[in-house]
């Protein structure tokens, strides 16, 4: 029966393939005026895919898991999670959300450019209302936000998140205070103000991709307002970056970050393609890969030594390697999450986590977000946004309905700390053995796709899960040993 299920599943896979390509185009090359009809097309395809999944429901219900191996149990687990969602959430809600988010992305872009939250507000109110309906439909224990967290990180709850943040935030503040008092890592570097030629920086990023040995025949890079990665298939993974004309590390680290996501998708066992487990297991595990490549590797002294000749040649830098390392590792409280250093980054996530919990619980109105955001920014980072673009409008995620997503960034940092503790990554970077790093990650995480739930996968591979102590130790070793 499982063979029949997998054969029939290919129709749902094909629709997902098309949706991924349309979503990528929406954020890259599609003309703005095309959003309305693109939204309608996406909504119709989502419904078609839902119908194909639900055709499998009766057969999936009859499967006896005791007779299955790990891969087969993974397939059934993932299918049952999706079937549960479709049984619980009316298709009209999903269709409405798809149409709404396609238009909301354009509204968010305009609102951010004009730093005017009121432009985005009516769209966000509707999105929040739909996400509450989804949470209620799915059901939950203790807190409605649990239903949404589980969609991105299977089995992760508000209790888990509260435990992580309550342990992590005090340590981060202590580490931050010691870094700032030592003075070794700067709070500002002149290179942050240096402008660059976009065409030249495109060449630099192209060389970075070569250094990381990204497979050109299966991978491409484009430009979008907010960098992202889109998996079309195991042989077609696409990333984007953005060019702001100043502070070249921002676009460079976007490329490294998104390449981390791409490496994960490219290294999933090809035999899992066209099955429900032929994808990353969760967004938290996914973010661990991007944060690992961006921070643990990309901001390391060892990586600076590799790319310094490249940067000096293309950008005519007047600084030595040590200064470039300090530039890559400026530490200061800042307003923009995507530009935040790895010490303060999770403070940004705490802001969004608190806001999302309150929104989904009905304890906060959408028009109350900007002032609360500003208050939380002052509480955690010690600074207040001057406008909406620096505050509540800076992230694209809410325009896409991604509530429950932000905590996965912190999960990713925690898992990256676990990988660092278990593997001599900096030694491999020093020797430019990036393929050996990839192979380690393939064996520990990538090849399994979604066969195992995230907590099970992490415990199997590293003996622990969601433990902030490894990440805290990493930060202390890097920033407090000078």
User: Is 348 a known ligand-binding residue?
Assistant: no
Tell me the C-alpha distance between 229 and 266, whole Å: 12
342 labeled part of a ligand binding site: no
- Residue 258: active-site member: yes
Question: Are the C-beta atoms of 308 and 204 separated by less than 8 Å?
Answer: no
Question: How far apart are the C-alpha atoms of 226 and 395, rounded to whole Å?
Answer: 8
**Residues whose CB falls within 8 Å of the CB of residue 190, separated by 6 or more in sequence, listed in order:** none
Please check if 189 is assigned to a binding site: no
With beta carbons less than 8 A apart as the criterion, state whether 240 and 228 touch: yes
Concatenate the DSSP letters of all residues of 467-481 into one string: -THHHHHHHHHHHS-
**Can you tell me which residue has the tokens 């870094």?**
179
Answer yes or no: are the C-beta atoms of 240 and 27 closer than 8 Å.
yes
At residue 230, φ and ψ (nearest 5 deg) are -125, 125
CA 482 vs. chain centroid, Å, equals: 31
User: What is the four-CA torsion angle of 92, 94, 100, 103, rounded to 10 degrees?
Assistant: -130
How many residues in total does the chain contain? 482
Q: Judge whether 126 and 100 are in contact, CB under 8 Å.
A: yes
Give per-residue burial for 249-284: e unless 16+ CB within 10 Å, then b.
bbbbbbbbbbbbbbbbbbbbbeebebbbbbbbbbbb
Catalytic residue (choose from 72, 82, 230, 258)? 258
Binding residues for Zn(2+), by number, are 257, 261, 287
Provide the annotated active-site residues. Answer: 258
């Amino acid at each position: 029966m499982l063979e029949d299920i997998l054969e029939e599943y290919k129709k749902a896979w094909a629709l997902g393939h098309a949706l991924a390509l349309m979503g990528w185009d929406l954020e890259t090359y599609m003309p703005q005026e095309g959003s309305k009809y693109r939204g309608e097309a996406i909504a119709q395809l989502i419904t078609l895919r839902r119908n194909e999944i639900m055709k499998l429901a009766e057969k999936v219900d009859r499967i006896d898991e005791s007779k299955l191996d790990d891969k087969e149990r993974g397939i059934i687990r993932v299918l049952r999670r999706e079937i549960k969602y479709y049984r619980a959430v009316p298709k009209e809600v999903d269709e409405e959300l798809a149409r709404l988010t396609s238009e909301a992305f354009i509204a968010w872009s305009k609102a951010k450019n004009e730093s005017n939250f009121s432009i985005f507000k009516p769209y966000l109110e509707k999105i929040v209302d739909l996400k509450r309906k989804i949470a209620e439909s799915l059901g939950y224990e203790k807190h409605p936000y649990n239903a949404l967290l589980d969609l991105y990180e299977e089995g992760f709850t508000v209790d888990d998140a509260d435990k992580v943040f309550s342990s992590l935030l005090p340590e981060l503040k202590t580490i931050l205070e010691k870094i700032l008092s030592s003075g070794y890592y700067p709070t500002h570097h002149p290179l942050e103000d240096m402008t660059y030629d976009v065409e030249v920086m495109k060449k630099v990023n192209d060389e970075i991709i070569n250094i990381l040995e990204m497979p050109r025949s299966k991978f491409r890079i484009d430009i979008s307002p907010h960098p992202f990665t889109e998996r079309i298939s195991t042989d077609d993974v696409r990333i984007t970056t953005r060019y702001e004309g100043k502070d070249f590390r921002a676009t460079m680290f976007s490329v490294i970050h998104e390449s981390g996501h791409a490496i994960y998708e490219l290294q999933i066992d090809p035999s899992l393609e066209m099955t429900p487990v032929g994808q990353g297991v969760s967004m938290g595990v996914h973010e661990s890969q991007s944060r690992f490549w961006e921070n643990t590797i990309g901001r390391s002294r060892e990586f600076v030594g590799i790319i310094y000749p490249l940067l000096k040649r293309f950008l005519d830098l007047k600084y030595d390697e040590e200064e470039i390392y300090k530039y890559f590792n400026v530490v200061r409280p800042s307003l923009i999450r995507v530009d935040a250093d790895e010490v303060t980054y999770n403070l940004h996530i705490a802001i969004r986590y608190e806001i999302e919990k309150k929104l989904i619980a009905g304890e906060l109105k959408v028009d109350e977000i900007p002032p609360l955001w500003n208050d939380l920014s002052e509480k955690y980072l010690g600074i207040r946004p001057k406008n909406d673009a620096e505050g509540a409008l800076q992230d694209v995620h809410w325009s896409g309905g991604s509530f429950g997503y932000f905590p996965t960034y912190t999960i990713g940092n925690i898992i990256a700390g676990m990988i660092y503790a278990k593997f001599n990554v900096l030694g491999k970077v020093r020797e430019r053995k990036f393929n050996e790093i990839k192979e380690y990650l393939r064996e520990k995480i990538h090849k399994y796709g979604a066969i195992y739930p995230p907590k099970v996968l992490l415990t199997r591979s590293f003996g622990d899960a969601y433990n902030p102590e490894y990440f805290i130790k990493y930060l202390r070793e890097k920033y407090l040993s000078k």
